[in-house]
Amino acid sequence: MKDKFISVEQAAAMVKDGMTVMIGGFMAVGSPLRIIDKLVESGVKDLTIICNDTAFPDKGVGLLVANKQVKKVITSHIGTNPSTIEQFNNKEISVEFNPQGTLAERIRCAGAGMGGFLTPTGIGTVVEEGKQKINVDGRDYLLEKPLHADIALLGASTSDTIGNLVYKGSSQNFNPLMASAADLVIAEAEEVVEVGAIVPECVHTQSIFVTHIVKNK
């Protein structure tokens, strides 16, 4: 079986200029913090980031934004990061806002190979601008299309040596969805255990989705 372990430097080097990158986390909880730090050091630029939020200027995805390495963010909110707000107001960064449930479902659709889904969320608001509206049984819905990425970067609590992942508490957030919606998936794990140490029914992300593992310690 192929060894999936790589260094944090190798992980960061796989992210190239102009890529679309999904990054797990909710205000940096469940984010791959070491990989993000290395991306900041690398200077990679013009990234499109798909994430729940842009965290804080000094932590998580927010570091990449503050360092002006991101050209577009597809997210649900930016309110916790003044740097994102400033760049957005100055037209230095593009922000595509999605209702949080819509964002999650768009990612899930990519992982499931679906062409999109219909939702009434956003009808009559700015969310519907530029989107196809479909009427079903007399009710209007927006067609929301799937979100796919070149790379997904996940923050796991525990990984076994083949990449089965567990996320503690709220660190699970978007990580399992993103694991199925990218061409290449890198998981940064706080702890690594042997195969069999994780009870099968407790696995949140199966090893088949994980391309590489970075040990956090």
The half-sphere exposure of 109 on its side-chain side, counting CA atoms within 13 A, is: 17
Is 66 strand, coil or helix? helix
Arithmetic mean of pLDDT over the chain: 96
Residue 145 has pLDDT above 80, yes or no: yes
Mean pLDDT of 41-47: 97
* CA-closest candidate to residue 171, choices 155, 182, 160: 155
What is the per-residue pLDDT for 133? 96
* Band of pLDDT at residue 216, cut at 50, 70 and 90: confident
Provide CATH code, domain 8-116+145-215. 3.40.1080.10
Mean pLDDT of 140-169: 97
| pLDDT 10s digits, 12-25 | 999 999 999 999 99
* CA-closest candidate to residue 51, choices 43, 63, 42, 41: 63
Residue 124 has pLDDT above 80, yes or no: yes
The two structure tokens encoding residue 1 = 């079986």
- Residue 25 φ/ψ region, left for φ over 0, alpha for ψ in the -120 to 50 degree band, beta for the rest: left
What is the per-residue pLDDT for 1? 55
- Report the amino acid identity of residue 215: K
The two structure tokens encoding residue 192 = 């690594």
* CA-closest candidate to residue 94, choices 80, 116, 81, 75: 75
